[in-house]
Structure 1
């Protein structure tokens, strides 16, 4: 694979967009997270690969996406650690791209002890550049696996 030097700035901007989402979620800045989407942006969640199955949920637009994020308030802390990202630019439209980004998300909560719900997530995104700003137009959140671990108190 070769990287087109003219798209390096776009690649950096798209990575920064995904990082802003993770940071905003962990800081519970849900209004800011929703604004990372286009006005008609879509957020949907799937158990595993989304192809051929209905979403667990689907939210469209800033208000619905912000309300969906409120569900994370049941956790004491979340931590979304991003890893590899594969970006594909639309050859017919320089203002469109798609990407798959891997994330290990940790969700800490209390329920007869302290627990960590660890999720292996892939963000399957479509992006649009509007007024020279990249935004998420469609995010399919694919959860590949979940593991619940006890949190041991430091000794």
Structure 2
């Protein structure tokens, strides 16, 4: 009975009305900002979805016509990009490279958005890639953080720029 009481006390505290389960930045948004927040979150999730479906054309269409993707191995403010893609055509060509994997799975995590003259956001993602190397099933996992700039065109939110930072990679044999 004592264990049940402790568990109930924990649950009550964890889900109390006073708890801050939603970041303060979201709770302070007005209804229009919240709708925009959700639309941008959908944009971010669509990027991962189309990557996993290897639909490079739809993935590239999430950028403005001259959108940019920069790839880094460390924080952008202390390093230079190792690769820069500009424009939907070039983005689509590179996104088609995901077809070399037998399977991909991108899981988006924390997301923050700052509205202003330039709407910006940060997104964390774990990318999983399964492929065969020397006849052995291999899993490569990457911890990624995106630093994004967004714009709204024709009532749609699009990426202007994504700075993709690969924090770490892990490659190992995988058993189904």
TM-score w.r.t. length of structure 2: 0.81
Match of 1:111 in 2: 133
Larger radius of gyration: 2
Aligned counterparts, 1:77-116, within 5 A: 77-90=103-116, 93=117, 96-112=118-134, 113-116=136-139
Cα RMSD, aligned residues only:
1.1
Match of 2:157 in 1: 134
* Aligned: 1:151 with 2:167: no
Of 26, 41, 53, 1:27 maps to 53
Of 99, 110, 117, 1:73 maps to 99
Give structure 2 stretches of 5+ with no counterpart: 1-23
Secondary structure of the structure 2 residue equivalent to 1:13: helix
> 2:141 & 2:173 partners in 1: Cα distance?
11
Give structure 1 stretches of 5+ with no counterpart: none
CA contact (8 A) 2:128 2:141 kept: yes
Distance apart, 1:144 and its partner CA = 0.4
Structure (1/2) with the larger helix percentage: 2
Distance apart, 1:48 and its partner CA = 2.1
Structure (1/2) with the larger strand percentage: 1
Query: Larger RCO: Structure 1 or Structure 2 (Cα < 8 Å, ≥ 6 residues apart)?
Result: 1
TM-score w.r.t. length of structure 1: 0.92
Name whichever of 8-17 and 71-80 sits farther off.
71-80
